[in-house]
Amino acid sequence: MRGNFRKVISIILSIILLVSTNTPNGRAVMLPTVQASQSIDDLLKKSYLELLEKSPNFRFAKQQYQEALKRLEKEEKTRKDGIAKKQKDLENQIRRAQDELRKLNISAAEDTPEMATRRQDLHCRIQSLQKQAAEAKVARDNGIPIEYENMRAKLEILEKWPTAKAEIQNVIESGQARARKWGDAEDIGYRTIESNQEDDIKKGQEAIQQMKQMGMLPPEIQDEEITEYVNRLSQNIVKNSDLQVPLNVTLLNSKEINAFALPGGFLFINRGLLAEARNEAQLAGVIAHEISHAVARHGNRLMKKATIASIIYQAAQIAALIFTGGAVGIGAYYALQYGFYGLGLALSLQLLGVSREYELEADQLGVQYAWKAGYNPEGFIQFFDIMASKEGYVEKTSFFRTHPAFYDRIVGVYREISFLPMQEQAIENTSEFETMQTRLQEVTKKADEESGKRPTLYGGEDKCPPEPTESDRPDIGR
């Protein structure tokens, strides 16, 4: 009898052990079957919001996650190596074209009409090749790493979010949600996140003045209705935030998709970002995030390590290096693309004082402010999804350089949304937003026409055949 009892106990323990090794925290639960049509690779193609919704329905073995990670790392290296090879070939073609120019110059004392035509053809060829080489460099150094950072973040969501979601639910059910840092969201406007925000105003003003002197800021959008709308939207978010200084909003007439905040409540939004947002909740989410940097005085915390003047000086040095050809003609490419060197690309994350900690803080506060202002707080994640799936490396490189994607921040945003009281009717979009984007199309058209006539730091030939856009070029895809 005792022997049979031991056998029964042994069998039960074996079953428990087998189940627990495949469940979060060792809990014995029934797990859904993963269908072949829903492989890890298939799921990585989905948006962040889709993964957050669907990932709790799937479980994969730890080995499968490890194998997927190795595949991503191998793919990334293969693609970077392929583009590096392409870039080297382009540079060789540039040198051969330059050799032809030298031979042309020593063939005669003056150009014949045929020589002049040949010279212009070579100029156009070199210009095109330099642009392609710059695109390849952006893809290799920034675009591909950003693409795979997003996929690694999605892989972590698949692996970790189900457990994290259960933990969030436990916190809510235990009544401990308000015990989190800044858990007093109902008291927005009556609490102090960081005191003495007014001390940052002078630093921000000085930074703007120096950037203008160095030509680091593009011209402003000259459209009163667009400016009034975005300012009204931003001020409404400020009224539902913890900002204790006036907000100064500037719209930059730049196709670069980015926005940034300087110390003291100075917010800059690029035309490219306004055009890329699909609804007002997404735009509100980005604005709320940037306002949060000023609320938390992240710029001031950076100033403890360096002055604004030194940061701007370093950025100017980087821009000067690139414009003088120190980065394989990439300056020429951005001069052609934007007509100026974009702030988000000139300033690295370190120079802006952006860190994982600061981004997580701004994400949490930004979600609270968007929620308090009545918007769907998922708007910020929606915008991340748009940028992560956008074609063309140049278009999204700038945004992700100053707003890096990683698992902690995506989950942090969703975690904060889970803790906030449910909204009866969250704002997704408005007719004012649609009107703004319609007017923005005219502003964009005019800016494109003017940029074609305006001289840039890169002179170039102005009678060359039109170049294909970045997204039209052949690429080494997944």
How far is it, in rounded angstroms, from Cα 113 to Cα 100? Answer: 17
User: What pLDDT was estimated at residue 388?
Assistant: 83
How far is it, in rounded angstroms, from Cα 461 to Cα 38? Answer: 51
User: What's the one-letter identity of residue 235?
Assistant: Q
Instruction: List the domain boundaries for the chain.
Output: 1-31, 183-470
CB 261 within 8 A of CB 326: no
How far is it, in rounded angstroms, from Cα 297 to Cα 295? Answer: 5
| CA atoms within a 13 Å half-sphere pointing along the CA-CB vector of 52 | 21
| CA atoms within a 13 Å half-sphere pointing along the CA-CB vector of 340 | 19
| CA atoms within a 13 Å half-sphere pointing along the CA-CB vector of 86 | 22
Rounded mean pLDDT for each run of 10 residues along the chain, 478 residues in total: 43 33 34 55 93 89 96 97 95 95 91 92 90 83 87 95 94 95 97 95 86 78 97 98 98 87 91 95 96 89 59 54 45 45 43 67 96 96 86 66 78 95 93 98 90 51 64 48
User: What pLDDT was estimated at residue 465?
Assistant: 77
In degrees and rounded to multiples of 5, residue 269 shows phi and psi of -125, 130
User: What pLDDT was estimated at residue 221?
Assistant: 95
User: What pLDDT was estimated at residue 392?
Assistant: 67
User: What's the one-letter identity of residue 408?
Assistant: D
